[in-house]
Structure 1
């Protein structure tokens, strides 16, 4: 049965998000919400339709004009945002040569964007390379369909691809507008999402200086089909800035008299229902308000994309449409579980996290802990254990974890058994005491997968993290098995010591910067290893180096100096692309690609190590170069030459993590809470509010609010739980020319060390933040 929303509750409530909203959830930062009609002026807007007492208007004087629903003293406003889907960037690549960028060991574009020693300019980051998907060819896609986005609902079991000219697999706008035929004519187009983040695709296709087409495509949220997604369409032809023809469609071409073009009122009623449906789906997300509104929209849209990607919103799928990513052989891929569980937990979406967790342990985990997937990834077993501990710390839901306690214990046992084997190696073996195994699932697809059954650093790093974290909560989950927790802690300490010892012994200090290969004993850099393998027409054990580095750093088990050595080595030896971990491959003259998923572990260590400018570069670069413009399809791997990336949901769920951590972040092994650690300096200068409400932590929900203006910065920290961290580190990344006169936290004067104020929160539920400045902030 289709999911139904309560329209009466929607109409009666003060906001859409008020429908059954849990405590602290608030409303999504930038979405459809009912406001007073007086706050939504429609004077001069075109009147489009009427239904159920609502009147629909649209500002058709501009391409991003709002659509407004008005009834009595209430109004619903759907905004528009458009981004260019074609290459309008000059000079190319910040004036650098693509060949030089691709061949260089250093990340030349990152170096240039960070050269000023301050936060990178988001617009400069955007202009560092052409947008994804603007310059693909059908020949280059081979048998892939050239879809550029998709629509769907939670309840359906599949999605519907949308192509550049706005057609789907069932409907073609060119039937009513012949000029829209084919995708080549849609090269010069802008795209965006209605309402900021709703999965309604808005396109502007310009076919001449005097004519453009305005298209809307979205899924019917009330359709009961088990698999098939029904779609609504609106196409308007504008000549000289004036609408001259409008056509509506529903799923298929008309077949009169039985199947007719929908009426205007039917279309807008469906659009109204659509807005209410999706707002209801993300109502439990932590409320977010930041000056860069698009980042908040990307967070909400990522969760919407996940619900569309997963059949019934729960069953795992790696991608959509294309067999190689939607096929069932991918469903048990561990990254689908861990990326989803992590993102949903960080944003307070506990019901979704529980559903995802329960589904995976019910349907993809055997009683012995092995997963129903062709190529298990050794580090992901450890990450899974860590996230199960985080799930308990955030939700307190011991019942779900006890239900799966046997499988959880055996997941940990997979790693303990492999650890025992590692200790049986000869003492002079380069990988003594380190866990062997596949690091990457695709290793199993090759004729001889034993080439990659090796002691990669990330295998051991995440085993340490997983054991240590699950051990903390195991006495509550399975009190009769406390001895297991003691064993896991012992092993974690032993394995961590061996990992650090062996890693230090494998630092290539003869290189600049120093470099660590992906496994002990390797003498070549990954680029050298790839070159040698190509020359000998062989494969290399250093394949998928990007996963090793990102996961090793993500696990947070290395001393900071060693972690920074790894970061420097990755960035300095061909391992990043505009600040994001590269999809490490043989050096060539035409391609240097970003890794859209997994790579967030590298970013997390940048944050931990205080490399905030690099963290912000990662965030902006992922936003602009691992996503298609405007409608934000995240690529698993995305080039910087305009090719069309393959979508995968773990890549889509990266931005939510990055945005959450820049505001609220927890230390792994100490009772320290970091607040505002990567807030861009310009956000304080903007004078606009910076606020997250109800961010889950292991000490309970936390609110952070900050705002600059005049000669002060003010705000507050609110703790909603019973527990408190031992200390809080608050970062005040003010513009560098700002001088601080005094800072008071909770009424007490504190000192600033660099950008950081450290204080003990005590038992206070709310602490005020008062910063006095030597000169006023000049707000934008």
Structure 2
């Protein structure tokens, strides 16, 4: 697009380039003996030569490989049960008791041992999301469970439990697949680990199943319609007994015959080529549990699918109430995307998202083209613009929108001035008033939620402070100084008011979502009347994320949320009055809560949050992330910001920057079991405000020695803290061969001069 001005010769490449320019990366691997031994199921040719399709069908998760000579494109399978398998349900607890309790009973059970939570037990804590829903009770919603699409298409295509789309039905080939009843015991996954290609296994017997693959046609250029490729086969005792291929629609002979196997696999090769090229700039990561790197990659692929053209914002898909244009300017779509793409080095996509939003949705006065602007998100926007500049050095892009950035900061200043003008006796004196939740404006009297919520002020502090640090190179020193003064003044007042409002008569101590709140948020919501404490989940999550409170207050608030009905299996709950039937996770704005747990050193809770979000805020296998997800197997509604939570959590557990100090923490939240596995943990070329950083660590169980290597460019932080969460105690450590002091399981390095550091830690 002409209005996008990229730095000439810079590090940012175009995100929306022609298809031909995005297909250079073909993930070829040397042909191993195991793959060479697999049976050939098909052959096809391309301009690059002759290919064989080799596939292991002895198991539902067998390898599929596209082989040319001594090289292969590997497309492994990994499926998860889309039906409940764990007994007893809810770890043996009663659902009514779980729903009614102020405490998070399932989290308490999973953390009772005092160590890291067991992922398998976390998975077993509730039925899989979407495993027990009744299609007849969805109202106007369609019972789709995943979707496919391309960058260039302006819409997506839903895929239903039995593998059908809105244009193609596998039951035309196999009558037994008709309807979704037989698909209730299905297994779901994606081809290639993370590629946006649906893979389903629907059991027939212990030795037979239907195997279905669905993916979008990456070469189709319809403006809205998503063309789809389909393979539906019956497998018995490791052999294909019948297979059918499809493209978008039922056959209409002789004009529209069924596609050949050769056409299907040629399209599959193109699909893999295009999607690997799309994510070529993703910071490489290796973890002992390969699911998490795949979830990271899939989230970014899914974002490209959801956004028309790969960049235009959309909150959801398919369902009109979530994909409608009235949601496109929702601030959370923008901030979650910019944040996640920056943290993983996807600077081209970050720039495209930033340009799109400020050009199409931010006015010259700083207001966003969306009903119900959220005050904290203005502050988060300022903070992320500062992060963008620090990571990319792309001054030209920020200079182009400079006036709108200043206008955004002035919105907060206007609200601050209004608050300061209130009488000193007013409960909201000095604190920013306004909506912190967009939905507030949809009610007959939205003034009920025009209040001094803590997160409004917390994010004003953080936003002003962060943008002021980078502004002297772009705007006036006077503007930066004003923002800094305001941030310091507001921070001091905010901390004092919060300390005054803590209720220590409750256990754990309680803080309401705004000064002067009557009763707890659960009590307020239980009246059945509109309450100023509605959407308090957003207040706490964003207050914690802003990182402007002393550690003791941040810890108190984390305790308050968990102890007064505010979490569900460790994830921020969708706040609701106590009830007999449900307790829900809030998947899409909760990442700030998790980040605070990590900063506070509450690693076990952070890991519970991570695993619980993976298993209970996503549909199994298809990894469709829910905005709000229950724990009784209901079908949640997808939203894109929820999908980007796992990438943020994985990045931070490996590498997280202090918001104010010159410090980088590496390995702060890694599970002890990952070290105990002896496998390498690595994150390469991860962006930070000190430049790109390489980090790798491993524990040699036989030698009882842990190593870590950290590489900076010409400059690093004053304090780089490397943590070894080993299953045994550390005795000593060296950095580049010199003995250093241990602080528990952490070694601190002065990395201001940059370079490479090798840390060796010896254990008992």
Tell me whether 1:504 sits opposite 2:478 in the alignment. Answer: no
Q: Is the 8 A contact 1:344 1:353 kept in 2?
A: yes
**Does residue 766 of structure 1 match 2:762?**
no
Contact in 2 for aligned 1:434/1:499 (Cα 8 Å): yes
Between the aligned partners of 1:734 and 1:9, the Cα distance in structure 2 is 41
CA–CA separation in structure 2 for the residues paired with 1:771 and 1:626: 37
Aligned match of 2:5:
none
CA distance in structure 1 between the aligned counterparts of 2:610 and 2:43, rounded to whole angstroms: 41
Structure 1's unaligned 5+ residue stretches are 11-15, 17-32, 775-780
1:134 to 131, 134, 157: 131
Classify 1:516/1:673 alpha carbon distance in 2 versus 1 (closer, same or farther; 3 Å): same
Which residue number corresponds to residue 705 of structure 2? Answer: 712
Q: Is the 8 A contact 2:22 2:277 kept in 1?
A: no
Question: 1:152-186, CA deviations, whole angstroms, 9 ceiling, x for partnerless residues?
Answer: 00111100000000000000000111110111121
Question: Are residue 549 (structure 1) and residue 528 (structure 2) matched?
Answer: no
* 2:11 equivalent in structure 1: none
Matches within 5 A, 1:318-337: 318-337=315-334
Partner residue, 2:45: 51
Correspondences of 1:519-538 after superposition (within 5 Å): 519-532=514-527, 534=528, 538=529
Counterpart pick for 1:164 among 161, 186, 206 = 161
Paired residue secondary structure (1:515): coil
Superposed, which structure 2 residues align to 1:564-575 within 5 Å? 564-575=555-566
Query: Structure 2 matches for 1:465-480, cutoff 5 A?
Result: 465-478=462-475
1:94-109 map, 5 Å: 94-109=91-106
2:277 to 266, 280, 290: 280
- Per the TM alignment, residue 321 of structure 1 is displaced from its structure 2 partner at its CA by 0.5
**CA offset at residue 772 of structure 1?**
1.7
Aligned to 2:367: 370
- Contact 1:544/1:584, CA 8 A, preserved across alignment: yes
Quote the offset at 1:76 in angstroms.
Answer: 1.1
Report the Cα distance in structure 2 between the residues aligned to 1:98 and 1:447, rounded to whole angstroms: 35
Paired with 1:3 and 1:122, the residues of 2 have a C-alpha distance of 42
The alpha carbon displacement at 1:429 in A equals: 1.0
Change (3 A) 1:2 1:500: closer
Is the partner of 1:551 in helix, strand or coil? helix
Residues 164, 8 of structure 1: alpha-carbon distance in 2 compared, 3 angstrom cutoff: closer
**Do residues 685 (structure 1) and 676 (structure 2) align?**
yes
SS of structure 1 residue aligned to 2:106: helix
Matches within 5 A, 1:437-476: 437-476=434-473
Other-structure match for 2:577:
586
Q: How does 1:389-400 map to 2 (within 5 A)?
A: 389-400=386-397
- Contact kept? 1:213, 1:237, Cα under 8 Å: yes
Deviations 1:454-495 (A, max 9, x none): 0000000000000000000111122xx220110000000011
Alignment partner of 1:204 is 2:201:
yes
Out of 117, 121, 124, which is 1:124 matched to? 121
Q: TM-score, normalised by structure 2?
A: 0.96
Question: Alignment partner for residue 715 of structure 2, among 723, 727, 730?
Answer: 723
Distance 1:137 1:121, change over 3 A: same
Would you say the 8 A contact 1:3–1:222 is kept in 2? no
State the shift of 1:740 in Å: 2.2
> Partner residue of 1:239?
236
The two structures have a TM-score, normalised by structure 1, of 0.94
Closer/same/farther in 2, CA of residues 309 and 7 from structure 1, 3 Å limit: closer
SS of equivalent residue, structure 1 residue 433: coil
Mapping of 1:413-432 within 5 angstroms? 413-432=410-429
Q: 1:4 aligns with which of 6, 13, 19?
A: 19
Aligned 1:6-25 pairs, distance under 5 A: 9-10=24-25, 16=26
Bigger mean CA deviation after superposition, 705-714 or 454-463: 705-714
Q: Report deviation, 1:212.
A: 1.8
Deviation at residue 68 of structure 1 after TM alignment: 1.1
Contact persistence 1:40–1:68 (CA under 8 A): no
On the 8 A contact 2:38/2:55 being kept in 1, the answer is: no
> 2:730 pairs with 732, 740, 746, which one?
740
Name the CA distance, whole Å, in 2 between partners of 1:695 and 1:239.
46
Give structure 2 stretches of 5+ with no counterpart: 1-15
Aligned equivalent of 1:35: 29
User: Partners of 1:541 and 1:404 in 2: how far apart?
Assistant: 35
Q: Distance in 1 between matches of 2:471 and 2:416?
A: 20
- Check whether the contact 2:731–2:762 (CA below 8 A) recurs between aligned residues: yes
Aligned partner (choices 73, 97, 103) of residue 70 of structure 2: 73
Q: CA deviation at 1:41?
A: 2.6
Structure 2 CA distance for partners of 1:292 and 1:116, relative to 1, 3 Å: same
Q: State the Cα distance separating 1:396 from its structure 2 match.
A: 0.3
Deviations for 1:693-716, whole angstroms, at most 9, x for unmatched residues? 011110011111001112211120
Structure 1 CA distance for aligned equivalents of residues 754 and 478 of structure 2: 37
* 1:475–1:482 CA contact under 8 A, matched in 2: yes
1:746 shift after superposition: 2.3
> What is aligned with 1:674?
665
How many angstroms does 1:55 deviate by?
Answer: 1.1
Question: Which residue, 738, 744, 747 being the options, matches 1:754?
Answer: 744
Cross-structure match for 1:25: none
Write the distance in 2 (CA, Å) between the matches of 1:354 and 1:680.
33
Aligned residue among 692, 698, 719 for 2:689? 698
- Please tell me whether the aligned partners of residues 464 and 487 of structure 2 are also in contact (alpha carbons under 8 angstroms): yes
Mapping for residues 305-384 of structure 1, pairs under 5 Å:
305-384=302-381
- Structure 1 residues 447, 505: CA separation in 2 closer, same or farther (over 3 Å shift)? same
